[in-house]
Amino acid sequence: MSKNQIKKDVSTRTRRGIIDLLKEQGGMDVVALSSQFSLSGMAIRQHLNALKEEGLVMNVEESRPMGRPAKLWVLTPAANRFFPSGYSDLSVSLIHSIKEAFGNEGLDKLLDVRNKNMQEQYLQHLGGISDIREKLEKLAEIRTIEGYMAEVKTQDDGSFLLIEKHCPICEAAAVCTGLCKNELHLFQTVLGNNVHIERGEYILAGGRNCIYTVRQNKP
C-alpha cells in the first residue's frame, strides 16, 4: 500500500470518528475534538472543513454566560446516512400500503402485535431485574443494539434520563405516529408500574435526542 493510500485511509477513519463523536456528544468545539483525537487544532479544522464541503457538518454558535459565544461543530441531517436507518424506505412504503389496504384500524392492529412481541422480548432480558437503574441500563443496552445509541444518566433529584441519540426508524415514525406512542407504552410496561416515565425532548419535534425522564413512584 502506498503512503498516499495509507494517509487517505487514516483521514477517512478520522473523519468517520469525528462524525461518530458528534453524534454521540452533540456540538463540540475544535479544542474538545483535538483532545479526543490527539491532533492539532489545525489538523482538526482541515478534517472539519472537508466534512463541511461534503455537507456533513456545520458551524453553530452557543451563547455563554461570559465572553463570546462558543463556535461549535454539529452534524447536518445528511450525516444520518452513516447510522442505522431501520430500512426506512421499505418501512415507509409498507406503512402506506397497509393504510391503503386495511385503513388506520388495520395499521393499529399491526402496531399492537409489534408492541406485544417487543414487550415479550424486552421482558425476557429485564424480567429478573428489580433495581430500576439496572433495568434502565439493560434497556439502554438493548436499544443501542437496535441502533438507538442509548444511555442512562442519573439526575440530582434521584430520577433517571434514558437518552436515545439516534432514531433508526425516524422516517417511518414521521408517517406513523403510533410507533412513537407505542414506544412510550412499551417502556412503561417493561419498567413496571412502580415508575413514572415521560418523554421530554423528541427527535421528530426537532430535538437532538429523544429523552425520557424516569422517576420511581413514592410508596
**Which of 42, 62, 82 is where one domain is finished?**
82
Asked if residue 180 and residue 113 are part of one domain, the reply reads yes
Q: What is the 3-state secondary structure (H, E, C) of 192-213?
A: CCCEEEEECCCHHHCCCCEEEE
Asked if residue 124 and residue 158 are part of one domain, the reply reads yes
Q: Which residue has the cell 436507518?
A: 85
pLDDT, averaged across the chain:
86
Asked if residue 59 and residue 31 are part of one domain, the reply reads yes
Asked if residue 197 and residue 95 are part of one domain, the reply reads yes
Q: Which residue has the cell 477517512?
A: 12
Asked if residue 75 and residue 104 are part of one domain, the reply reads no
Predicted local confidence at residue 90, as pLDDT? 58
Structural domain count of the chain: 2
Tell me the pLDDT tens digit for each residue of 8-67: 777 889 999 999 999 888 889 999 999 999 999 999 999 999 999 988 898 887 777 777
Domain with residue 92: its CATH number is 3.30.1380.20
Asked if residue 106 and residue 189 are part of one domain, the reply reads yes
What is the C-alpha to C-alpha distance for residues 93 and 175, in angstroms, rounded to an integer? Answer: 10
Domain with residue 40: its CATH number is 1.10.10.10
Asked if residue 34 and residue 65 are part of one domain, the reply reads yes
Asked if residue 103 and residue 77 are part of one domain, the reply reads no
Q: Range of 137's domain?
A: 88-216
Asked if residue 194 and residue 154 are part of one domain, the reply reads yes
Q: What angle do helix axes 3-25 and 41-53 make, rounded to 10 degrees?
A: 80
Q: Which residues of 138-169 are buried (b: 16+ CB within 10 A; e: fewer)?
A: bbbebbeeebbbbbbeeeeeebbbbbbbbbbb
Side by side, which strands form the sheet with 160-164? 150-154, 160-164, 210-216, 195-199
Asked if residue 97 and residue 154 are part of one domain, the reply reads yes
**Residue 6 confidence class, pLDDT cut points 50, 70, 90:** low
Say what the pTM is. 0.67
Per-residue cell: 216? 420511581
Characterize the bridge pairing of strands 150-154 and 70-75: unpaired
Positions of E strands within 95-164: 150-154, 160-164
Average pLDDT estimate for 186-215: 90
Tell me the pLDDT tens digit for each residue of 68-106: 777 899 888 778 778 766 556 657 788 888 888 888 888
